[in-house]
Amino acid sequence: MQEGQETYLWWQTGVVYQIYPRSFQDSNSDGVGDLRGIIQRLDYLKWLGIDAVWLSPIYPSPMADYGYDISDYRGIHPLFGTEADFDELLREVHSRGMKLILDLVPNHTSDQHPWFLESRSSRDNPKRNWYIWCDPLPDGSVPNNWLSVFGGPAWEWDESTQQYYYHAFLKEQPDLNWRNPEVQQAMLDVMRFWLDKGVDGFRVDVMWHMIKDEQFRDNPVNPDYQAHMATYEQLLPVYSTDQPEVHDIVRQMRNVLDGYNERMMIGEIYLPIQKLVTYYGIDGKGAHLPFNFQLLSLPWDARQIASAIDQYEGALPPNGWPNWVLGNHDQPRITSRVGMQQARVAAMLLLTLRGTPTIYYGDEICMRDVPIPFEEVQDPQGLNMPDKNLSRDPARTPMQWDDSPNAGFTDAKPWLRLAANYSRENVAVQRNNDLSMLSLYRRLIDLRRNEPALQVGTYTPVYSDMNLVAFKREAEGHDSFLIVLNLSHRPGYFRPQHFPFSGTVEMATYPESEGVSVSDALNLSGDEGLIIRLH
């Protein structure tokens, strides 16, 4: 798309949709979603207006962390299908004019990966230095105080070679040594393997973890730690994550992508804005989209969110393209965090802010976190810290397609239980209801696609207070839009000084407001969001 003299690429103008493959659609009656199931549902994604599909990992894996522990970077787990199924999925996605983004997990492998089996076989094995091995301290204890994200120390003792290996996550997920050029080469070759197949890009898992402090210094204590938090947060991971040398690795990955036409890289990075934006790289040669998780991590508070949007816009490097995320497979669902009415406002925010939006499957039909009984918990984070209610299973439950048994997801017992209300809240019901969340998402995506101001236009903050966030989107030679969102349940009053305006309400969370002419002042109901086409 062109706006003025600039040409925008698909990952700038498009909407990304994350599929958690286990939970999207089962095609072979084993209770687990698979690639053929995804193929069956592509027409739905096309109808919704999705431009790019991002798949969580589908590679061979012992499934200690549900696919984020990879034992073969170049294959497909039989649970999800075959390599032929993958090739067909890629063709079918492309035939609908959509793109396919794969999850790449370069920080760690499975402990069953051939590389690690070699590495741990002896101290003088050629692949020993492919992972991070350390001697115990003189008293026999762990090399330092680093903690695992999933609970406990991040060091595992290997009896046969009498050293510890480092794992930022499960002990079944040993971290690769990215300071080793052989590791770098092997992983860049993995990228080329999938790019040669025609994959359009990667979402890179825990990008900020990939390099660790060379001296293995102890992490400092977190003075703000509280008992309800994950044990990992007892320390500040200043030496185990976000090391300066990681940017050299990201640049190498970018160089690989730049050898292909219009491929892209998203980085998973949970860091403050000032650190996050450094992952765009020097001269913009880092990640195309360092994931911006502020709408996931901030309290749902108008002032904080308005401030964060402006801080982010102000911190972006020249030509750094913004992006926004409301939900993913690691976080509670947006509807469970803010409620059903505010989830509509959140959808309007996501799809009118400047930059690329990512939608998590099911959020478009208001899916909520499903309570999973303790004896059914599958997620290692939940199993390892059972008293903290940190399981990620509730946000990973099967997609609710219709009111048939198991919501049309499977005709077997689903791998995780479904929401009790799936017969009322599903795609089939909402598709035929103009007032549904699904209809709202589809209309928002359609409006965004057809209005250059919303798709690639500039962002200007207009106003915020305890209830409201308001901003303007404009593109030269096209209609401009004023977006006013009430992030509270109470009425909000928009009477900005020095900002006279008149226009027509193009879209609203409440349909009664649509088509109404407005000027200079607005009285908003609680949970109301307005998109106003300015005259």
Domain spans, the chain: 14-109+181-445, 458-534
SS3 of residue 202 by DSSP: strand
> In which element (H, E) is residue 100 found?
strand 99-104
Those residues whose C-beta lies under 8 Å from the C-beta of residue 109, and which sit 6 or more positions away, are 69, 70, 71, 115, 116, 173, 174, 176
Q: Which two tokens stand for residue 169?
A: 């996550």
Intrachain domains 14-109+181-445 and 458-534 with the same fold: no
Residues 6+ apart with CB under 8 A from 295: 305, 324, 325, 326, 346, 349, 350
CA-wise closest residue to 461 among 362, 340, 314: 314
**Superfamily of segment(s) 458-534:** Golgi alpha-mannosidase II (2.60.40.1180)
Rounded to the nearest integer, the mean pLDDT of the chain is 96
Q: How many CB atoms lie under 10 A from the CB of residue 300?
A: 16
Q: Is the entire prediction scored with pTM above 0.85?
A: yes
Whether 1 contacts 7, CB under 8 Å: yes
CB atoms within 10 A of CB 423: 16
Cα angle: 352, vertex 468, 453; to 5 degrees? 20
Given a cut of 80, whether residue 6 has pLDDT beyond it is no
Q: Given the DSSP bridges, would you call strands 201-204 and 264-267 parallel, antiparallel or unpaired?
A: parallel
What average pLDDT does the segment 182-197 reach?
Answer: 98
Query: What is the set of active-site residues?
Result: 205, 268
* Residue that is written with structure tokens 């199924």 in the block: 85
Lowest mean pLDDT among 197-201, 254-258, 326-330, 379-383: 379-383
CATH (residue range 14-109+181-445): 3.20.20.80
Reported as a single tens digit per residue, the pLDDT across 501-528 is 999 999 999 999 999 999 999 999 999 9
Residue 1 confidence (pLDDT): 58
| 16-38 pLDDT per residue, tens | 999 999 999 999 999 999 999 99
Q: Please report which confidence band the pLDDT of residue 390 belongs to, taking 50, 70 and 90 as the band edges.
A: confident
